[in-house]
Amino acid sequence: MNISDTMRELGIDKDNFRTLGLLPLVFVAWADGAVQRAEGSLIRRVAREKGWLLGSGEALLDGWLEREPDAAYVEKGLVLLKELAAERHRFGHAFTAQTLSNLLVLCKDVAEAAGGLWGLAESVSPEEEQALAVIAEALGIGDAQTWRRIVAEIEASPAPSAPGPKGNVLVGELRAIAKDPLGLLMRCLNDHGDVVRIRMPGMEWFLVSHPDHVKHVLVDESRNYVRGRSYERFRLVVDDSIVTTDGEQWRPLRRIAQPAFHRQSVARMTGMMVRCTTEMVGRWADRLEASQTFDVAAEMHQLTLRIIGLALFSVDLESEATRELGEAVGIALEYTAGSTNPFRLPSSVPTPANRRFARAMKVFETFVFDTLAQRRESGDHPPDLMSMLLEAVDPETGESLSHVQIRNEMLTYLIAGHETSATTLTWLFYELSRHPEVRRRLDGELERVLGGDAPTFESLDELAYMDQVIQETMRLYPAAYMLTREVVSEDRIGGFTIPAKAWVLLSSYVTHRRPDVWENPEGFDPERFTPEAVAQRAPCAYYPFFAGSHKCIGQALAMMEMKAIIAVVQQRCRLDLAPGFVPEVEAQVTLRARNGLLMRPIWHGR
């Protein structure tokens, strides 16, 4: 019988392959007869945390834990594990190193949770030795010590380089990434797997998309993966700020700004968000003839820019009095949107676009500096982020921020805090127009919770289904679809060498479309985000706001803002796609709609 047949008999397939690593632990638990409840829940808990229960893995594990110990089944399982161990060279280095060390890690975690029963501490207790021996025996690699030695050797031996597209000798994949970044990223996953090397002129990029690997970079080993030089282009726009720095330079900026994003602060902004949206929808109603179409993408950009201007420095960027500032901000944001273009000349070269950007920055800087001076002089500090930064004194250093630092932060928040929400909303209204059943359910929830009243912070909190619809939109269209980190010291991911100074690409767009994590990944289905479904998934299977210490500071604000906007729009009208219009995704800094999104409002009650 070959490996595939044994796997089929044990109910193991591509979908739940990772669960296989739990088999030795289940055997150990079976060794005493039936699995004790505590043992079972321990194995399940640790496995869930590790993300080993993807696909039908949970059902498979449940089946194992619930069944009576079955000598024939154990026998088959042992044969399979032995065959896999014997054939490890066929599966490649990555498979062996990862599977074996995953088993060790798992044993260690189970042991910690169980108070040391299966630990791999220096002094191994007889029980531990016995448990390890059973597992080692199952793998056909001798006793526990030998097993440990093999793993140590595997970890110490040079790891191979990750596979990847061949690329042009001179420019690597530069052209492909400039032309169709999403196409290239998905090809990398489909053709080359979990860790993919992408050649670029003079450097290497590594795309990692497996949830465990993403967690490794963003959470477990985040100190080794910094923004560093990979944020150089963004630094040309905002200089050193919360979104371009790391470590000690970044920490005080985060600490100072954090209170502005606490629940109470976000709650205070809800009224303003509802008012701005109500005015926008009112304008549509006044301006648009029946069945006239308009660009929802542009409207969402204008609205979220207005909201962020009010939240950051209490200025209405739509008013006539601030027209010059509004235009300058628009130019700066447009310039940033092109900052991922690898062919663009550095901002020091006086091209027309660079000169226009420099002029816009001057206008913005003058506004920030004048406003700061006025606030200092008058002592008038409206409750916004600018006041918070102006008054802030770092409790550890006793220092406050310079005006230049505040300018950098203001520009950063403008950039980070408006286009992301605007593009998410654009795609959400598009998906709602394609899924009437989702829209009907959403409207039902709005009617039940708000009953026609204007939304408040508290009532928005109750819109659980709307939350799911937003989450699913951000799965398919994660605004920050690809970000980078620079590698500090050489590391290994998935058994492959990741050299120092290389860049790691983290693409939520790719992870969110992995067929081993998401069933029917291209389908739009908010049911993926019920609390039960979320609890089943590995921690970094979904990360539109990133994870770890740099996780988006504006997440709660963005969610509340998007909910307020959707609620007000949906209460007044239904947005239908303009007949014949097909929007196109364009990957710039965010996932935009290339030619906008033409829709027409169908007003309720008219």
Identify whether the C-beta of residue 514 lies closer than 8 Å to the C-beta of residue 521: yes
Q: How far is the CB of 342 from ligand HEM (least distance, A)?
A: 18
CA distance 576 to 594: 18
Q: Is 360 in the site for ligand HEM (CB under 6 A)?
A: no
Identify whether the C-beta of residue 89 lies closer than 8 Å to the C-beta of residue 78: no
Q: Is 417 in the site for ligand HEM (CB under 6 A)?
A: yes
CA quadruple 89, 92, 93, 95: dihedral positive or negative?
A: negative
Place of tokens 């009095």: 321
CA distance 296 to 144: 63
Q: How far is the CB of 501 from ligand HEM (least distance, A)?
A: 18
196: β partners: 207
Q: How far is the CB of 307 from ligand HEM (least distance, A)?
A: 9
Residue nearest to ligand HEM (CB): 554
Q: Is 424 in the site for ligand HEM (CB under 6 A)?
A: yes
Identify whether the C-beta of residue 472 lies closer than 8 Å to the C-beta of residue 524: yes
Identify whether the C-beta of residue 474 lies closer than 8 Å to the C-beta of residue 563: no
CA distance 537 to 518: 9
The tokens of 156 are what? 């110490």
How many binding residues for ligand HEM (CB under 6 A)? Answer: 23
The tokens of 134 are what? 């059973």
Taking CB under 6 A as the criterion, the residue among 420, 507, 571, 588 binding ligand HEM is 420
Q: Using the rule CB under 6 A, give the single segment among 141-149, 168-176, 187-195, 416-424 that binds ligand HEM.
A: 416-424
Q: How far is the CB of 221 from ligand HEM (least distance, A)?
A: 15
Q: Using the rule CB under 6 A, give the single segment among 8-16, 409-417, 440-448, 488-496 that binds ligand HEM.
A: 409-417
Place of tokens 């900026």: 253
Q: How far is the CB of 271 from ligand HEM (least distance, A)?
A: 17
Of 111 and 560, CB closest to ligand HEM: 560
Taking CB under 6 A as the criterion, the residue among 428, 558, 575, 598 binding ligand HEM is 558
CB-count exposure of residue 378 (10 Å: 0-12, 13-18, 19+) = exposed
Taking CB under 6 A as the criterion, the residue among 313, 429, 477, 546 binding ligand HEM is 546
Q: Residues near 294 by Cβ (< 8 Å), separated by ≥ 6?
A: 284, 288, 598, 599, 600, 601
Of 478 and 596, CB closest to ligand HEM: 478
The tokens of 286 are what? 């006044």
Identify whether the C-beta of residue 434 lies closer than 8 Å to the C-beta of residue 496: no
Taking CB under 6 A as the criterion, the residue among 64, 413, 496, 518 binding ligand HEM is 413
Identify whether the C-beta of residue 197 lies closer than 8 Å to the C-beta of residue 163: yes
Q: Is 526 in the site for ligand HEM (CB under 6 A)?
A: no
Write the DSSP assignment of 200-221 as a string of letters.
ETTEEEEEE-SHHHHHIIIIIT
Q: Is 331 in the site for ligand HEM (CB under 6 A)?
A: no
CA distance 298 to 280: 12
Q: How far is the CB of 85 from ligand HEM (least distance, A)?
A: 39
Radius of gyration of the chain (CA): 27
Q: How far is the CB of 536 from ligand HEM (least distance, A)?
A: 23
Give the count of beta carbons closer than 10 Å to the beta carbon of residue 602.
12
Taking CB under 6 A as the criterion, the residue among 107, 131, 553, 577 binding ligand HEM is 553
Q: Is 554 in the site for ligand HEM (CB under 6 A)?
A: yes
Exposure string for 169-205, b = 16+ CB within 10 A, e = fewer: eeebbbebbeeebbebbbebbeebbbbbbbbbeeebb
Q: Is 269 in the site for ligand HEM (CB under 6 A)?
A: no
For the window 137-166, what string marks contact with ligand HEM as x by the rule CB under 6 A?
A: ------------------------------
Q: How far is the CB of 215 from ligand HEM (least distance, A)?
A: 14
Taking CB under 6 A as the criterion, the residue among 144, 188, 416, 504 binding ligand HEM is 416
Q: How far is the CB of 63 from ligand HEM (least distance, A)?
A: 38
Q: Cα–Cα distances in Å, from 514 out to 46, 149, 212?
A: 23, 34, 13
Taking CB under 6 A as the criterion, the residue among 544, 583, 596, 601 binding ligand HEM is 544
Q: Is 550 in the site for ligand HEM (CB under 6 A)?
A: yes
Helix (DSSP H) and strand (DSSP E) numbers for the chain: 25, 12
Of 60 and 242, CB closest to ligand HEM: 242
For the window 289-308, what string marks contact with ligand HEM as x by the rule CB under 6 A?
A: -------------------x
Q: How far is the CB of 244 from ligand HEM (least distance, A)?
A: 9
Of 159 and 547, CB closest to ligand HEM: 547
- Residue among 276, 316, 237, 207 at smallest CA distance from 455: 276
Q: Residues near 402 by Cβ (< 8 Å), separated by ≥ 6?
A: none
Instruction: Find the binding residues for ligand HEM in span 119-138 (CB under 6 A).
Output: none
Distance of CA 175 to the CA centre of its chain: 26
Identify whether the C-beta of residue 577 lies closer than 8 Å to the C-beta of residue 599: yes
Q: Using the rule CB under 6 A, give the single segment among 6-14, 285-293, 317-325, 548-556 that binds ligand HEM.
A: 548-556
Of 203 and 219, CB closest to ligand HEM: 219
Q: Using the rule CB under 6 A, give the single segment among 59-67, 193-201, 341-349, 419-427 that binds ligand HEM.
A: 419-427
Q: Is 99 in the site for ligand HEM (CB under 6 A)?
A: no
Q: Is 329 in the site for ligand HEM (CB under 6 A)?
A: no
For 51-121, where are the alpha helices, taking DSSP H only?
57-66, 71-86, 88-113
- Residue among 129, 342, 112 at smallest CA distance from 232: 342
Instruction: Find the binding residues for ligand HEM in span 475-514 (CB under 6 A).
Output: 479-480, 483
Helix (H, G, I), strand (E, B) or coil at 527: helix
Instruction: Find the binding residues for ligand HEM in span 228-257 (CB under 6 A).
Output: 242-243, 254
Q: How far is the CB of 363 from ligand HEM (least distance, A)?
A: 21
Q: At what angle do helices 57-66 and 37-50 cross, to 10 degrees?
A: 160
Helix (H, G, I), strand (E, B) or coil at 226: strand
Taking CB under 6 A as the criterion, the residue among 46, 52, 545, 565 binding ligand HEM is 545
Q: Using the rule CB under 6 A, give the single segment among 18-26, 149-157, 270-278, 415-423 that binds ligand HEM.
A: 415-423
Q: How far is the CB of 247 from ligand HEM (least distance, A)?
A: 11
Residues that bind ligand HEM (CB under 6 A): 242-243, 254, 308, 412-413, 416-417, 420-421, 424, 479-480, 483, 544-546, 550, 552-554, 557-558
